[in-house]
Structure 1
Amino acid sequence: MELRICIDVDDMDRAVAFYTLGLGLRVGRRFKSDFVEILGAGSPIDLLFNAPGTRPITSGPRSETVRSYQRHWTPVHLDFVVDDIDTAVARLQQHGAVLEMPVAERVWGRIAGLADPFGHGLDLLEFKGRGYDEILQPH
């Protein structure tokens, strides 16, 4: 089974720059001006242009919901593992990210919480030692 991550954006050029220049990923296929595939993470990321105010759901109890690219919370977010978290945070901020949780130390490494320019939350992780295995079997 393949996992593809779909991210709604309201400015395709800005989104492509954020995910390529900011995170070091690369453009795969450009299906149309409103659908660009981003490669280089563990799963492809599909950037999908959808205008603010449009409805993501056409029927059901939440069909009145409209897209907003202000900061929003959802129980799903993306974690990107980086080699140098301080450099990655600075680079993403240059491309419109908002730092919401400054870099913090954990037993497994370091973490920072950000929002992309479209209101989606994401975390940066910089592992040290055995990464998450440090939680399971501390030295």
Structure 2
Amino acid sequence: MELLINIDVDDLDRGIGFYEAGLGLRLNRKLFDGTVAELHGACAPVYLLAKAPGTLATTRADTRRDYVRHWTPVHLDFVVESLEPAIERALSAGAEIEDWP
């Protein structure tokens, strides 16, 4: 089984910058006229999908994309060798700590 991780972002270049600087992933290629970025460096490829705020998240629901902080039952855990340097790196890239890991 192959796993693909897809993450909607409102600003593709900013998203690429965050995942490169904050997590050490690297841009492999852009797809679909530059609206999708494929990032490597994890055990599965991570795809950032450029989706404008306010657009429908699915054709089967009225839910619209909203990039303010929200809770979702889906999340990603990144395994790192050392927690504190990884946290500092993510903070330097613009992450915020809500709860200490």
TM-score range, shorter chain: over 0.9
Aligned-residue CA RMSD in angstroms? 1.0
Q: TM-score, normalization: structure 1?
A: 0.68
The residue number in structure 2 matching 1:17 is 17
Q: 3-state DSSP class of the match of 1:101? A: coil
| Displacement of 1:9 | 0.1
The residue number in structure 1 matching 2:8 is 8
Amino acid across the alignment from 1:9:
V
The residue number in structure 1 matching 2:88 is 90
Q: Which has the higher contact order (CA 8 A, sep 6+)?
A: 2
* 1:90-138 deviation digits (Å, cap 9, x = unpaired): 1111212110112xxxxxxxxx2xxxxxxxxxxxxxxxxxxxxxxxxxx
Q: Where is the strand percentage greater, Structure 1 or Structure 2?
A: 1
Instruction: Name segments (4+ residues, structure 1) moved above 3 Å.
Output: none
| Displacement of 1:33 | 2.1
The residue number in structure 2 matching 1:131 is none
Q: TM-score, normalization: structure 2?
A: 0.92
Which one is further off, 43-52 or 92-101?
Answer: 92-101
5+ long unaligned stretches in structure 1: 103-111, 113-139
Q: 3-state DSSP class of the match of 1:78? A: coil
Identity, % of aligned positions: 50
Q: Highest Rg: 1 or 2?
A: 1
5+ long unaligned stretches in structure 2: none
Count of residue correspondences: 100
The residue number in structure 2 matching 1:36 is 37
Amino acid across the alignment from 1:19:
Y
